[in-house]
Copies of this chain bind each other. A is one copy, B any other.
Amino acid sequence: MVSFECDYIAGAHPEIIRRLTETNMESLSGYGMDEYTVRAKEKIRRACGCPDAQVEFLVGGTQTNAVVISTMLRDWEGVIASDSGHVSVHESGAIEYTGHKVLELPGTDGKLEASALRAFIERFYSDVTHDHMVFPGMVYISYPTEPGTLYSRSELEAVSEVCREFSLPLYIDGARLGYGLMSRQSDLTLEDIARLADVFYIGGTKVGALCGEAVVFTKGNMPAHFMTSVKKRGALLAKGRLLGIQFDTLFTDDLYFRISRHAIDMAEKLKEIIREKGWEFYMDSPTNQQLVLMTEEQMEVLGKKVVFDRWGVYDEKRTIVRLATSWSTREEDLEVLREV
């Protein structure tokens, strides 16, 4: 059996395991005060072309979204997101748990359009009853989006511009950031992300790490006493080294980008196989996740050799199946799929 179930089926990139092993018995201070964490932050600042960025490490994606959003919003504000956004759908209400509303706008293939964003904000302020409503306080987008689409540079610039105009921080969920940036369709770089966003995170869990996300505040805007707020949310890791060493490794010799590109290369081959098989794309994604329509019979055949994810129901006969590559996908895994 091979698995294309998702992009977190394997442990960590072997280089990370090697570094964790090598440093294992060193005595290091806790809570991210160790030298590896300090070094990882510096490397990320450099990779972002943003020498003043403030970088903090957290454990997982939902946790990161809840911590960042709830510490940046003010009491009377909510966060705008696409109605397919991870914060809108797949976090069990983690944002609402912090006391803030997710203001959901209809997305287009998972993306928030600048024009829709502007229209929503203008409508809010033109409504004479808006003091009785939740104020827009932040904009959340994902890159890549949940269904695997990408904002073009001009699309992202347009969203960022609306945010600037209304003084709303733009937050980019980069759970799969590497797979977005390394996509052949992407015309954005990490520096662009850092420039256009006010805060974003570089996902580790899905891109080579055992766990861990690197939050980057790019405009000197990290909330005051952030460490205490992180602790208050149960999100402070005692052995910060676990995150520091992983990100230090990922941002040494471009490992993060190299393994992301590998996943994309594998995804392109996966797409060829899908086309060969005559399977119908639900969405032809330029990133590492492919969504395909399959009947029960097709899934039964596939399921004999391949682990996959039932992403959603499409119609009475067909299911949306997700096939994901990642840094750990091997050519031979693809061969098994080809021969199903």
Query: Which residues of A come within 8 Å of B, CB atoms?
Result: 1-3, 5-6, 8-12, 14, 17, 20-21, 23-30, 59-67, 70-71, 74-76, 78, 89-94, 96-102, 104, 123, 126-129, 131-135, 205-206, 210-211, 223-225, 227-229, 231-239, 241-242, 307, 310, 312-313, 328
Can you name the residue of chain B whose Cβ is closest to the Cβ of A64? B234
Q: A30-B9, A237-B60 are in contact. Are A231 and B132 (CB under 8 A)?
A: yes
Contact between A232 and B11, CB atoms less than 8 A apart: no
Which residues does chain B contribute within 8 Å of A29, judged by CB atoms?
Answer: 5, 9, 307
Can you name the residue of chain B whose Cβ is closest to the Cβ of A21? B17
CA of A91 to CA of B301, assembled, Å: 51
User: Can you name 6 extra interface pairs (CB under 8 A) apart from A11-B239, A75-B225, A90-B129?
Assistant: A5-B27, A10-B25, A14-B25, A75-B228, A92-B229, A132-B236
Contact between B76 and A228, CB atoms less than 8 A apart: yes
Which residues does chain B contribute within 8 Å of A101, judged by CB atoms?
Answer: 93, 96, 102
CA of A325 to CA of B67, assembled, Å: 33
Which residues does chain B contribute within 8 Å of A132, judged by CB atoms?
Answer: 90-92, 228, 231, 236
Q: A126-B313, A131-B227 are in contact. Are A205 and B97 (CB under 8 A)?
A: no
Contact between A234 and B66, CB atoms less than 8 A apart: yes
Contact between B24 and A21, CB atoms less than 8 A apart: no
Task: Give which listed residue, B90, B225, B232, contacts A94 with CB less than 8 A.
Answer: B232
- Closest Cβ of chain B to A85, distance in Å, is 13
Which residues does chain B contribute within 8 Å of A14, judged by CB atoms?
Answer: 24-25
Q: A20-B17, A62-B234, A99-B99 are in contact. Are A239 and B225 (CB under 8 A)?
A: no
